[in-house]
Amino acid sequence: MWICPYCGGNHGIPFHDEQLDGMLCLSEDCGRFVEEDAIREDRSEWDYMDF
Ligand SMILES: [Zn+2]
């Protein structure tokens, strides 16, 4: 389940664009865009550190 890192809500829709790739939070108080590329980069960084 997707969880917004800003508000902790789980109501989001996938949003893809020529420049953006991620999830758009649907919470009324939030409404922020969360890039998925940033999350992936963080993960690969952790994998590299384990290696
Ligand atoms: Zn949110």
Q: What is the pLDDT of residues 4-46, one digit of tens each?
A: 999 999 999 999 889 888 999 999 999 999 988 655 555 555 5
CB 1 within 8 A of CB 10: yes
Residue 21 lies in a domain: yes
| Domain hosting residue 17, numbered range | 12-50
6: closest CA among 37, 39, 29? 29
Residue 34 lies in a domain: yes
Residue 5 lies in a domain: no
* Separation of CA 23 and ligand 1 centre (Å): 10
Q: Which residues surround ligand 1, an ion (CB under 5 A)?
A: 4, 6-7, 9, 25, 27, 30
State how many domains the chain has.
1
For residues 8 and 4, give the distance between their C-alpha atoms in angstroms, rounded to a whole number. 5
Residue 24, φ and ψ in degrees, nearest 5: -110, 120
- For the whole prediction, is pTM greater than 0.75? no
Residue 16 lies in a domain: yes
